[in-house]
């Protein structure tokens, strides 16, 4: 049983990511930084939440960005503090899975 399994009270497959920290980035903070939309409206500030899985290689050529419309959070796989269920793509992100973290660095938003 891995750390996440212990926290959830059950065993998890060995290819399930353990604890994942959600990171927050805020951009377009100031009036001159705001994002200008096609209609002329300005948007900002914008806060992006994401988690990272896998390791970015030296060439930075193995990164993939996973944009989704399936949930309202960045908790894609493994477990995060305060969340007692696995992520929404836990069956797809991890070693040997569709988004193989042994060779890819995934950034779900």
Q: What is the CATH number of the domain that holds 78?
A: 3.40.50.1820
**What does the alpha-carbon distance between residue 34 and residue 75 come to, in Å, rounded to a whole number?**
27
Cα separations (Å) of 89 from 46, 57, 61, 71, 76? 24, 23, 22, 10, 5
Residue 2 has pLDDT above 70, yes or no: no
- Residue 37's pLDDT is what? 94
Per-residue pLDDT band for 11 (boundaries 50, 70, 90) equals low
User: Domain limits at 84?
Assistant: 1-109
Helix or strand or coil: residue 32?
helix
**Average pLDDT of the segment spanning 11-19:** 64
Token pair of 108 as six digits: 């779900």
Cα separations (Å) of 70 from 15, 47, 52, 81, 87? 22, 18, 18, 21, 12
Counting the structural domains of the chain, the total is: 1
What pTM value is reported for the model?
Answer: 0.64
């Amino acid at each position: 049983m891995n750390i996440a399994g212990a926290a959830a009270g059950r065993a998890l497959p060995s290819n399930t990511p353990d604890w994942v920290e959600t990171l927050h980035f805020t951009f377009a903070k100031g009036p001159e930084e705001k994002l200008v939309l096609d209609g002329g409206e300005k948007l900002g500030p914008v806060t992006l939440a994401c988690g990272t899985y896998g390791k970015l290689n030296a060439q930075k050529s193995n990164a993939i960005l996973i944009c989704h419309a399936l949930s309202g959070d960045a908790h894609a796989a493994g477990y995060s503090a305060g969340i007692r269920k696995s992520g929404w793509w836990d069956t797809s992100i991890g070693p040997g899975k569709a988004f193989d973290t042994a060779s890819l660095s995934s950034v779900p938003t």
